[in-house]
Structure 1
């Protein structure tokens, strides 16, 4: 994230760049995103697990991704990632990823290349990724001296916020699950691949609303303000 941790500029192939500007502890502004034909595209939904939630001092421990199109999961990808930092016990309990399980895991550069090969040219979709997943990937790519992908990226929080300017809540995963009454009892939460499946169900519901309103593109070229996620209490405890 460079010298200024509150500003990220992520370059994309077809839309020049995505600008994410953190306005405060509670809001960010995202602009310069345009994805057309959103009801027809294949998407690569992805999620990361890490040693913690603070990007500047934590590390990726797992990639998860699925190729999703027309309401169907076509392919799945998952890989653990060796971390230079030990997984805290409370995070291990949450994610099920132990330090022992990471002993023979691939390094970030190898797992990342597998992820990129899996995604291909698909538009990427994430939940709260403008706040966590993209900054984490940006940090790791910089540390490994490799290029960040050029794929366009949609965050379902922003996708939902664009649709509902009348709402001022934090559009967390749990919020969207409640809003759309999504079934989750068959999903392993806080697992990167399991969370991808959940994000696909959220995406499906949001796209249904877009279609009902005859909206066929995600366009926030002029900017959209989104509420940032609240730091969970478990991460605010003294280590």
Structure 2
């Protein structure tokens, strides 16, 4: 798979996933010290198995010791504190456990082409461990491909509203809890693909996917710090 980034969008090439409706997927999500994948540190892995029409309870969750402090605003958002990092496993330990859970399954993420994959690749290079080679589907691209008329940024909140997904009682920005939301989104997408007679996903480098917009809390202030 190849992803080419532009300032406000990206395109995907060299990805083909057939038999979408029959597969056992692994949905995954990461939390980090911030939203910039080129400079932040992973704090949590979350993953869960998913197969359409089935209820599966196989899940994975692990903290990952960050190499930099977690800003107060991020700690408040995610519920992950610097105190949690003291006893958290090192990245290599957490990543190996995550990889064992993932196995050879097709991975599914949301906005992972922009955040989860780049930050994970950088960590693997930094700690000299091999990155997985699994195919990865991103619900943003899956939605964009069948809804080219939608001009909004396809955020998690957008898809929750679009598909009328009930998130009451779900702790957002927890990696495993967010996997549960992505699972519901994936279920809606697979239903739409089925209704359209689509049983595969083929990357199309002529179709642009809008990149996420950086929330105000993550924007760098003129003095180089995080906003308070």
TM-score range, shorter chain: over 0.9
SS at match of 1:68: strand
Counterparts of 1:185-204 in structure 2, within 5 Å, are: 185-204=168-187
- The match for 1:118 among 93, 101, 106 is 101
Displacement of 1:221 in angstroms is 4.8
Find the aligned partners of 1:209 and 1:197 in 2 and give their Cα distance. 19
Find the aligned partners of 2:57 and 2:206 in 1 and give their Cα distance. 32
Find the aligned partners of 1:74 and 1:41 in 2 and give their Cα distance. 16
Find the aligned partners of 2:56 and 2:185 in 1 and give their Cα distance. 13
Displacement of 1:187 in angstroms is 1.3
- The match for 2:114 among 131, 139, 142 is 131
SS at match of 1:198: helix
Superposition CA RMSD, Å: 1.1
Query: Where does residue 86 of structure 2 map in the other structure?
Result: 103
SS at match of 2:208: strand
Find the aligned partners of 1:49 and 1:67 in 2 and give their Cα distance. 19
Displacement of 1:237 in angstroms is 4.8
SS at match of 2:213: coil
TM-score by structure 2 length? 0.94
- Flag as ranges the 4+ runs of structure 1 deviating above 6 A: none
Find the aligned partners of 2:56 and 2:5 in 1 and give their Cα distance. 33
Alignment coverage as a number of residue pairs: 221
- The match for 2:31 among 40, 49, 57 is 49
Pair 1:40 & 2:33 matched: no
Query: Where does residue 192 of structure 2 map in the other structure?
Result: 209
The answer on whether the counterparts of 1:68 and 1:200 sit within 8 Å (CA) in structure 2 is: yes
**Could you report, residue by residue, the CA deviation over 1:162-181 in whole angstroms, capped at 9, with x for unpaired residues?**
11112221100000011100
Query: Where does residue 21 of structure 1 map in the other structure?
Result: 4
**Could you report, residue by residue, the CA deviation over 1:33-71 in whole angstroms, capped at 9, with x for unpaired residues?**
110111010110000000000112110000000011124
Unaligned stretches of 5+ in structure 1?
1-17
The answer on whether the counterparts of 1:40 and 1:69 sit within 8 Å (CA) in structure 2 is: yes
Find the aligned partners of 2:72 and 2:163 in 1 and give their Cα distance. 33
**Could you report, residue by residue, the CA deviation over 1:54-99 in whole angstroms, capped at 9, with x for unpaired residues?**
1121100000000111243340100000011011000000000001
TM-score by structure 1 length? 0.90
The answer on whether the counterparts of 1:171 and 1:227 sit within 8 Å (CA) in structure 2 is: yes
Unaligned stretches of 5+ in structure 2?
none
The worse-fitting range, judged by mean Cα deviation, of 118-127 and 69-78 is: 69-78
Pair 1:170 & 2:153 matched: yes
Find the aligned partners of 1:179 and 1:136 in 2 and give their Cα distance. 28
